[in-house]
Amino acid sequence: MDTVHLEKDFQEKIDQEIKIEPKDFMPDAYRKTLVRQISQHAHSEIVGMLPESNWIGRAPSLRRKLGLLAKVQDEAGHGLYLYSACETLGVDRESLIEQLHEGKAKYSSIFNYPTLTWADIGAIGWLVDGAAIMNQVPLCRCSYGPYSRAMIRICKEESFHQRQGFEILLTLSRGSEEQKEMLQDSVNRWWWPSLMMFGPHDKDSPHTAKSMKWKIKRFSNDELRQKFVDVIAEQIKILGITLPDPDLSWNEERGHYDFGPINWDEFWDVVGGNGPCNKQRMHDRVTAHERGAWVRDAAIAHAEKRATRKAISKAS
């Protein structure tokens, strides 16, 4: 079959909601888009462990420490599922990791902000995981089989993370004046970066149209951002604090909350490597990778030994 027919069949499968699997035909641009998105997503999970790990040793109780440890471990697991999904597209994990460490690959802008207080751990759970879920639940229906299946498990764990974050904030909201101030300050700092997680406005998003045609994305960046604002603007009432946006108001006609302008200069600055913690994050990630080299070497040596033993026992 020639490429034109193959591409026609491919799009028909997608239109009929039939999953594309690793050995199926796929246009090169579809493969590239998936490698780009899934690898950026995997990197985000791995780099996303760093801001939280800052608080593992300083969690206010054993229960909080256990919860946070489990969450950070989940994120490592998400990274691994996603790197594996990406490998089904014919790229190897080492080269993806190399691109990240050389500063050539993107990861979510949100993880370049500092975690200054314990309330930030709650805010990350509630807002950052909340934004991640809003964006990732539709990815469970992504047209590419391995990515969609990885996302089902990831989303279940992310929902737990979000509840854990909200519970931390709820506890602070019922605490002392100082704790309430810490809570408000944290939400003030994380709100706008959370909105930026959804990516640029649709008019400035070069990939959305194609990704929606291929059913990699099911909703545009602005559609998901709006859904998120609508949910959070209601949930915050329970915490008895406010979002740092004087323009936030319910619009009866639209049936949505209106919200103020996003600082896109800040967003592109952070994406470009100039956020408050970009350099620290990359330094910590590369150091952790280098320190873990002996574990990877040992695992490879063990696998080789087992393979040799198996070959010898087969031959004898």
The stretch near ligand FAQ (CB under 6 A) out of 193-201, 243-251, 258-266, 307-315 is 193-201
Q: Considering beta carbons, is residue 182 or 225 the nearer one to ligand FAQ?
A: 225
Q: Counting every residue, how long is the chain?
A: 316
Q: Which is nearer to ligand FAQ, 31 or 36 (CB)?
A: 36
Residue closer to ligand FAQ by CB (options 203, 237) is 203
Site for ligand FAQ contains 143 (CB under 6 A): no
Nearer to ligand FAQ, 180 or 207 (CB): 207
Pairing of strands 249-251, 256-258: antiparallel
Residue with tokens 């300083």: 58
- d(Cα 185, Cα 301) in Å, to the nearest integer? 49
The tokens describing 23, both together, are 């050995």
Segment lying near ligand FAQ (by CB under 6 A), choices 1-9, 95-103, 206-214, 287-295? 206-214
Residue 201 structure tokens: 């406005």
SS3 track for 108-127: CHHHHCCCCCCHHHHHHHHH
Residue with tokens 């939400």: 187
Q: Which region among 17-25, 60-68, 192-200, 248-256 touches ligand FAQ (by CB under 6 A)?
A: 192-200
Gap between the Cα atoms of 2 and 199, Å rounded: 36
Instruction: Collapse the DSSP code of 144 into the 3-class scheme (helix H, G, I; strand E, B; otherwise coil) and give the result.
Output: strand
Residue nearest to ligand FAQ (CB): 48
The span of 42-50, 58-66, 284-292, 306-314 binding ligand FAQ (CB under 6 A) equals 42-50
Residue 148: in which H helix or E strand, if any? Answer: helix 145-173
Determine if 200 is a binding residue for ligand FAQ (CB under 6 A): yes
- C-alpha distance across the termini of the chain, in Å: 47
Residue 206 or residue 255: which is nearer to ligand FAQ going by CB? 206
Residue 46's nearest CA partner among 270, 286, 224 is: 286
Minimum distance, C-beta of residue 249 to ligand FAQ, in the bound complex (Å) = 25
User: Does residue 207 bind ligand FAQ (CB under 6 A)?
Assistant: yes
Q: Which of 67, 122, 130, 199 binds ligand FAQ (CB under 6 A)?
A: 199
User: CA 159 to CA 175: how far, in whole Å?
Assistant: 25
Residues that bind ligand FAQ (CB under 6 A): 36-37, 40-41, 44-45, 48, 75, 106, 108-109, 124, 128-129, 132, 135-136, 196-200, 205-208, 211, 221, 271
